[in-house]
Amino acid sequence: MAKETHNAHNPNPMLLENVLSSLQCLTLELLKNRQQHVALSQRVNQLHSILGKPLVNSDPKAPMFNGSNPSGWVRKVQSYFYHFETSEEDRIWLVGLLFERSASSVWDSYQNPYNMLSSWSEFLEAVERRFNPPRIFKVAGTVLGVGVETLISGGSTHNFIHPYVAERLGLQVAPTHPFRVYVGNGASLNCFHKCEKTKLLIQGHEAVVDLYVLHIHGSDVVLGVQWLESLGEVTENYADLTMKFMHNDKPVTLRADGQNGEQVSCYAMEASFA
């Protein structure tokens, strides 16, 4: 009995060493996690404090953006972040807090799983490109030999076709990942379908495009950035209303039938996948 009592109070030295080693590791891990938590909390507080600091005494808030005067806002937000020595990585995540509802669509469209921002300069270029008044080319096109009024707009992220036109032409409509489209007046429309690989003939040039079905106004078809980016380098001349690009190693020139300034706000359309 005495021998058993002695063993109970004197555990195996190897076991004791392992237990002590495990306790030391656990203590170090807890300390490390605590330090990381404190550092993260300090970082969060720092980022929040940046937005609350005044740039000048008369303006205690960071510059908000409502979609108007994008060039002016870009200059202000650049100066603001420069003043507080904010890194470009932090700027990308903080800037979303500066967008008012009327302008938030551009942020949503660039922060979705299909199109993530890669740099601060890229984001600023996108803001100026999306919110500066877009120039619109109105051209006559045909689909399956039927005339369709077409607008080419750099203010629209995607290509669209009116549902009535798609039905009239007998185009095959397929479901697509649902997304919301914000138009220039602040309203939004839902898109659920598209017509894939539609052949659109414009002044002798054949474009094969995916057209998203949407209740657009003022035209039958809208060709947006989705199509324009596929062309590569495009030269636009607003004096004679022409756009030039290369296709299959051959020069293509499209001439606008006219320009409808009243439709500009309607075709500043941003697609959001959020």
pLDDT of residue 265: 37
Give dist(CA 116, CA 266) in Å, integer: 26
Bin 141: left if φ > 0, else alpha if -120 < ψ < 50, else beta: beta
Give the mean model confidence (pLDDT) for residues 119-140: 78
CA 97-100-101 angle, to 5 degrees, is: 115
**pLDDT confidence bin for 142, thresholds 50/70/90:** very high
pLDDT of residue 11: 59
Which one is the CATH code of 136-272: 3.40.120.10, 2.40.70.10, 3.30.413.10, 2.40.160.20? 2.40.70.10
Tell whether pTM > 0.85: no
What is the per-residue pLDDT across 196-231, written as a single tens digit (0 to 9) for each?
Answer: 999 999 999 999 999 999 998 889 999 988 899 899
Reduced to 3 states (helix: H, G, I; strand: E, B; else coil), residue 167 is helix
pLDDT of residue 73: 87
pLDDT(177) > 80: yes
- DSSP assignments along 85-107, one per residue: T--HHHHHHHGGGGB-GGGHHHH
Lowest pLDDT segment from 106-115, 196-205, 263-272:
263-272
CA 82-83-88 angle, to 5 degrees, is: 30
b/e per residue, 71-100, with b = 16+ CB within 10 A? Answer: eebbebbeebbeeeebeeebbbebbeebbe
By the 10 Å C-beta count (0-12 exposed, 13-18 middle, 19+ buried), 163 is classed as middle
**Domain spans of the chain?**
52-131, 136-272
**pLDDT confidence bin for 58, thresholds 50/70/90:** very low
